[in-house]
Structure 1
Amino acid sequence: MTLDLYAASSRPVTRRPDRETTHSFSFGEHYDPANLGFGPLVAHNDDLLSPGGGYPTHPHRDLEILTWVLSGALVHTDSLGNSSVLEPGTVQVQSAGSGITHSEQGDLASGPTRFVQAWVRPDAPGGTPSRAEAAPMTDSGLVQVAGGSALPVGAAGASFWVGSVSSRVVLPEAPLLHVFDAISGDAWRIRDEPGRELSLAAPGLLLVWAFA
């Protein structure tokens, strides 16, 4: 049984003229062989984009890409013919499958845009690319917004939960838990303590990955 705290100040940051990205795991120029992921979770990035800034069209394959918008608005288009504007409180799951291209850019009319994006390894390579979105209510306590009976994630036993927490919360029943507080920027990685109660020093907005 382990609980490891990763303070916001310990995470590497990539800075570009139109964006700033804070990484929870080894990523790009911040290669760290000791921090390649947590279970099937291989990327967990916190992005702040300037209006119109972000990521032009680029490819992905064999990833489950989950995006949660915190502020502003994110313009997303993909090679499946989809185009949408993701606003705060919106979750999107894109299964890259055998291959897609997509773009993600801050909406020009909405000011800076902040979103968290996670990449999860799917159960099997290939597959048919897809995309789904929802705007669940997460005002009090943790709510499951992806995995299980919520938006599909192509990784069995993976689920994503979001909720505003005042001080204490009981975490999901799973042997691997990755907990990120979007207010403080701190994160916890918890092994073999399913249903653990977590106490916060101040109210937080928790984004939780649970892996069975």
Structure 2
Amino acid sequence: MTTSTPTPQIDVRRSADRYASRFGWLDSKHSFSFGHHHDPANTHHGLLLVNNDDVVDAGTGFDTHPHRDMEIVTWVLQGSLVHQDSTGHSGLIYPGLAQRMSAGRGILHSEKNDSWRLATDSERPHDEPVHFVQMWVVPDERGVEPGYEQLEIDADLMSGSLVPVASGMPQHDGASAIRIRNKYAALHAARLQPGQSVELPEAPYLHLFVPRGAVVLEGAGPLATGDAVRLTATGGQRLTATEAAEVLVWEMHAGIAS
């Protein structure tokens, strides 16, 4: 991990240029190298290694699999997702709920469209897909105790401002919804109506993702659903919605050493 000052840059990445993995039950688009998509020139930005935009069919999902030494934040846009892990935690993740899993020294977990869980004799299982963004950042300490946390923040998003979703930064103590184990990183989210705007924080590394809607970023122009911007050694730009939009912004004050 490094805190040296990088060269200023605004790098727009369009939705159509993302890697895509399609397996029948899963439509996944990757902002960085992931799985069999490996590009040594596109492995991370700042501390962010994964920004996957996933749609999972009803009754399907990711079977139990391992993780280690990673902070994993899941943000649901539509539908709901069931999480279960080897530490005994389970949870139903839905829009407006912040969720974090710290893999630490090792954890097993599964994630499935919640029609898999809700099918009972008295309820008909729904057939809606679940759409979510999953983001991975490196922790600032390896081999810690695995952990899980989730918290409802939907009411905070009604403000139209950038809301801390997950953070390890000291200034967000008592303000961020959930804590992650990296003191240099924070995730913010905003739901914007047409004409509403927010100001990006200033940081050595920012990653802006537009999972739905359309916005205009000062200095970069229009951004549509699925577009992303990697900002380096900058910040303070205005981001204005041109239609109803949801945005995710990683603020990072360190990067991964080369």
- The alignment of Structure 1 onto Structure 2 pairs a total of residues equal to 212
Q: Say if 1:196 and 1:63 are closer, same or farther in 2 by CA, change over 3 A.
A: same
The residue aligned with 2:220 is: none
Listed as ranges, the matches of 1:40-189 within 5 Å are: 40-108=47-115, 109-110=125-126, 111-136=128-153, 137-139=156-158, 140-147=160-167, 148-149=172-173, 150=176, 151-165=178-192, 166-167=194-195, 168-183=197-212, 184-189=225-230
| Greater Cα shift, 131-140 or 30-39 | 131-140
**200 and 162 in structure 1: CA distance in 2 versus 1, 3 angstrom threshold:** same
1:197 Cα deviation after fit: 2.1
TM-score by length of 2: 0.79
CA contact (8 A) 2:10 2:229 kept: yes
Check whether the contact 1:46–1:114 (CA below 8 A) recurs between aligned residues. yes
Query: Is the CA contact (8 Å cut-off) linking 1:174 and 1:195 kept in structure 2?
Result: no
In 2, Cα distance between equivalents of 1:84 and 1:93 = 11
Moved more, 15-24 or 82-91: 82-91
Cα-to-partner distance string for 1:100-152 (whole Å, 9 max, x where unaligned): 00000001144110110001011121001111101212131211111132211
How large is the Cα RMSD of the aligned pairs? 1.3
Q: TM-score, structure 1 length as denominator?
A: 0.95
> Partners in 1 of 2:136 and 2:25 — Cα distance?
22
C-alpha distance in structure 1 between counterparts of 2:211 and 2:235, whole Å: 22
Structure 1 residue runs of 5 or longer lacking an equivalent are none
Q: Which sections of structure 2, spanning at least 5 residues, go unmatched?
A: 1-7, 116-124, 213-224, 254-258
For the residues of structure 2 that align with 1:172 and 1:153, how far apart are their CA atoms?
18
- State how far apart, in whole Å, the 1-side matches of 2:29 and 2:96 are: 20
The equivalent residue for 1:14 is 21
CA distance in 2, matches of 1:152, 1:19: 29
Q: Describe the shift of the 1:175–1:196 C-alpha distance in structure 2 as closer, same or farther (beyond 3 A).
A: farther
Answering whether residue 239 of structure 2 is matched by residue 191 of structure 1, we say: no
Letter matched to residue 180 of structure 1: F
Percent of aligned positions with the same letter in both sequences? Answer: 41
Paired amino acid for 2:32: F
SS at match of 1:126: coil
CA distance in 2, matches of 1:112, 1:13: 17
Give the AA of the match of 2:229.
W
Q: Is the 8 A contact 1:164 1:203 kept in 2?
A: yes
More helix by share: 2
Kept after mapping to 2: 8 A contact 1:62/1:121 = yes
